[in-house]
Structures are given as structure tokens and as C-alpha cells.
Amino acid sequence: MSISVPAPVRGFFRRHPRLTRALELAVRPFEAASKKVVFGCKMCGQCILHETGMTCPMGCPKTLRNGPCGGVRMDGRCEVIPGMMCVWVKAERRSRWLPWGGAILKVQPALDWSGAGSSAWINVLADRQGKEAS
């Protein structure tokens, strides 16, 4: 994760698991609602929106986090859902508008599914994601 959180903040959340849980319960509905409306968020718990052209990769029927599959149709639509634009075609196009668009080239590690459904914001603050990641 490229967002760096100061160590004292991480330490605080680590030392107070019950407080962290309570905070998560409060934050989660707000995060879910706002990101769902704007980005079609699927609450995977490890947000990489800023590295994928502000396009949620979990909207891809294959939940690909590192780029498009080989089946994208010639008009840019999805191989699985022909009525939908491929999320990666959108992500690539949008990433060009972002000053940090090159982040799309970062190799994304495997998702930690044990964090699915949790608040990515709190996860970042508490530094508790992708434990299994290579």
C-alpha cells in the first residue's frame, strides 16, 4: 500500500482493538455508501482505487486486480457481461488523467479475503491488510 500512515497512529490502533472495532462499525456504512455510489465499491477491504484510475477492479467478473484479461471485446466491452464496459478499459483510460496514473503499473499482491467486507479506511489506519501477500 502506498499510503503511509505514521507509526504512532498504527500503534495506537493496534493497542486498542476494541476501540478500532467500534470505530469500524461507525465508519463502515458511511464508507460503503459513499464508495458504492461513486466507484461501484465492493468492499474488498483493501482499497486500491487510487492505483486503478479510480475504477474499482472488483467490478470485474473475474475480480482481476492487475489488468484486463485477454477476452476484452474489440469495442472494449467485457467478455463475460457484453452490456458492460470492461472495468480495465475504463481504469486505463482514467489513469491517464491522474498525476499519479503510473501507479496502475504496480504489481498488486493477492487479496486477503479475510478482510472482505471490512472498512478499508480503518484497515489502512490500523495497518492490517494483505498479511498473506507475497
* Binding stretches for other proteins (CB under 8 A): 61-76, 79-80, 86, 88-89, 92-93, 105, 107-111, 113, 132, 134
**What is the end-to-end Cα distance of the chain in Å, rounded?**
13
> Within its chain, how far is the Cα of 10 from the centroid?
20
8 Å CB contact between 67 and 88? yes
Would you call 111 exposed, middle or buried from its count of C-beta atoms within 10 A (0-12, 13-18, 19+)?
A: buried
- Name the segment binding ligand SF4 (CB under 6 A); options: 2-10, 60-68, 100-108, 123-131: 60-68
- Choose which of 5, 26, 80, 110 interacts with ligand SF4 (CB under 6 A): 80
CB of 69 to other proteins, least distance (A): 5
Query: Residue 68, interface with ligand SF4 (CB under 6 A)?
Result: yes
- Cα(38)–Cα(27) distance, rounded to whole angstroms? 17
Q: Binders of ligand SF4 among 97-116, rule CB under 6 A?
A: none
Close Cβ partners of 58 (under 8 Å, ≥ 6 residues apart): 41, 42, 44, 65
For residues 10 and 67, which CB has a smaller minimum distance to other proteins in the complex? 67
For residues 28 and 77, which CB has a smaller minimum distance to other proteins in the complex? 77
For residues 27 and 108, which CB has a smaller minimum distance to other proteins in the complex? 108
